[in-house]
Amino acid sequence: MANVYKFRVLLDTEGEIFRDIEIRPENTFEQFHHAILKAFDFEGKEIASFYMSNDDWDKGQELPLMDMNFGDGEESHSMAGVKIGELMRKNGQKMIYVYDFLRMWVFFVEMVGISEANPAMTYPNIALAFGDAPEESSKEMDLAFDGEDIDAEDEDDMFDDFEDDMDDEDFEGLTERDEY
């Protein structure tokens, strides 16, 4: 009989909000990524990464949604190419899942059980949902410019420093050829 892994996926937010997701070890991390998004009612239009972690929740090896290698010869992996059972094998193993690097939705993921698969069940399966998930767009974007945080009111003024003082006189006498 095939095994099923159960993961507790805790959203890093003020209240306690988590989902228990059951998934087979032969499923890919991309399938797990989609299961997490579905469990929290997120649209899934943003980039994401899993990070292997330890008991202190430090970020380790990254497993991105897309291969970010750009063909430079180094071996790279993406969520679609790695099965869960290749990296996760025992209870207590931890990962950090980050979704939408502008809003920085952070999830703490821990394997909490291994059991036999129910042949009547479809996996991945949301086994438990605790707490109401926030709206995906409810979190402010974390914009930074020159090392300083920028709030929504400052966004329009962000490029004021780049305005130039050129006027019509600066363009007098230019021909089409001179413009290039």
pLDDT digit string (tens) for 72-121? 555 558 999 999 999 999 999 999 999 999 999 999 999 999 999 999 99
Q: Which residues contact 127 (CB under 8 A, 6 or more apart)?
A: 6, 20, 21, 22
Sorted by where each starts, the structural domains of the chain and their CATH numbers stand as 3-138 (3.10.290.30)
- The answer to whether the predicted template modeling score (pTM) of the entire model surpasses 0.85 is no
Q: Which tokens sit at 112? A: 């909490």
pLDDT digit string (tens) for 28-82? 999 999 999 999 999 999 999 999 999 999 999 999 998 766 555 555 589 999 9
HEC letters along 68-81: CCCCCCCCCCCHHH
Asked whether 81 and 28 are in contact (CB, 8 A), the reply is: yes
